[in-house]
Amino acid sequence: MASLAPDALKVLDTTREVHVATPSKRLPIWSVVVDGDAYIRSFHGERGAWYQRALRDGRVEVEGIEARVEPERDPGLNERISDAFRAKYGERSPRPTEAMVTPEVAATTLRLVSP
């Protein structure tokens, strides 16, 4: 699957808190870029409404960027994604960052790909 465009990756990589669009509002989430691909996770694990909708629809809009979603199941890559969350957010937000790298939350990792 094709990665997002370089300008979209830059937005998701450099913006501290991006927003995922839902039918009724925009919710703040975190994003990271690893090996040229963007990833997002649900802080609320599989209970997250936006996450459930993204899986059902197979797509999501993050910070105005339309993307298809693919669940990321590779344990090694998911650990590197967790490391990226720690590097990007850990110093300024240590407690929320540790929540984002728990097994329950890591299981919701979605790769964003071109629509």
Structural domain includes residue 45: yes
Q: In which band, very low, low, confident or very high, does the pLDDT at 25 lie, cut at 50, 70 and 90?
A: confident
Structural domain includes residue 1: no
For residue 90, what are the domain limits? 6-113
Report the CATH number at residue 54.
2.30.110.10
The answer to whether the pTM exceeds 0.95 is: no
Q: Where are the alpha helices (DSSP H) in the chain?
A: 6-14, 49-57, 75-89, 94-100, 103-106
Structural domain includes residue 52: yes
* pLDDT for position 24: 77
Measure the CA–CA gap between 96 and 115, rounded to whole angstroms: 30
Q: How many domains does the chain have?
A: 1
Which residues in 24-46 are b (16+ Cβ under 10 Å) and which e? eeeeebbbbbbeebbbbbbbebe
* pLDDT for position 2: 83
Q: What is the pLDDT of residues 53-103, one digit of tens each?
A: 999 999 999 999 999 999 999 999 999 999 999 999 999 999 999 999 999
